[in-house]
Amino acid sequence: MILYPAIDLKGGECVRLLRGEMTAATVYNPDPASQAKAFQDSGCAWIHVVDLDGAFAGVAVNGVAVRSILSAVDVPVQLGGGIRSRAHIDTWLEAGISRVILGTVALRDPELVIAACRDHPGKIAVGIDARGGKVAVEGWAETSEITATDLALKFEDAGVAAIIFTDIDRDGALQGPNLDATGALARALSTPVIASGGVSSLDDLRAIAKLDKDGVAGAIVGRALYDGRVDVVGAVRALAGEAA
Say how far apart CA 140 and CA 153 lie, in whole Å: 21
Contact present, 217 and 1 (Cβ < 8 Å): yes
Task: Identify the DSSP state of 210.
Answer: G
DSSP label at residue 198: -
* Catalytic site residue from 51, 53, 129, 171: 129
Catalytic residue among 8, 51, 53, 204: 8
Q: Which residues are within 8 A (CB) of 180 and not within 5 positions of it... i.e. 6 or more apart?
A: none
Calculate the CA 2 to chain-centre distance.
12
> What string of H, E and C letters represents the secondary structure of 67-130?
HHHHHHCCCCEEEECCCCCHHHHHHHHHHCCCEEEECHHHHHCHHHHHHHHHHCCCCEEEEEEE
Whole-angstrom CA distances from 218 to 5, 89, 115, 121, 138 are 11, 23, 25, 19, 24
Cα dihedral 17→19→23→27 (10° resolution): -10
Mark whether 169 is an active-site residue: no
Is 150 one of the annotated active-site residues of the chain?
no
- Residues with a known catalytic role: 8, 129
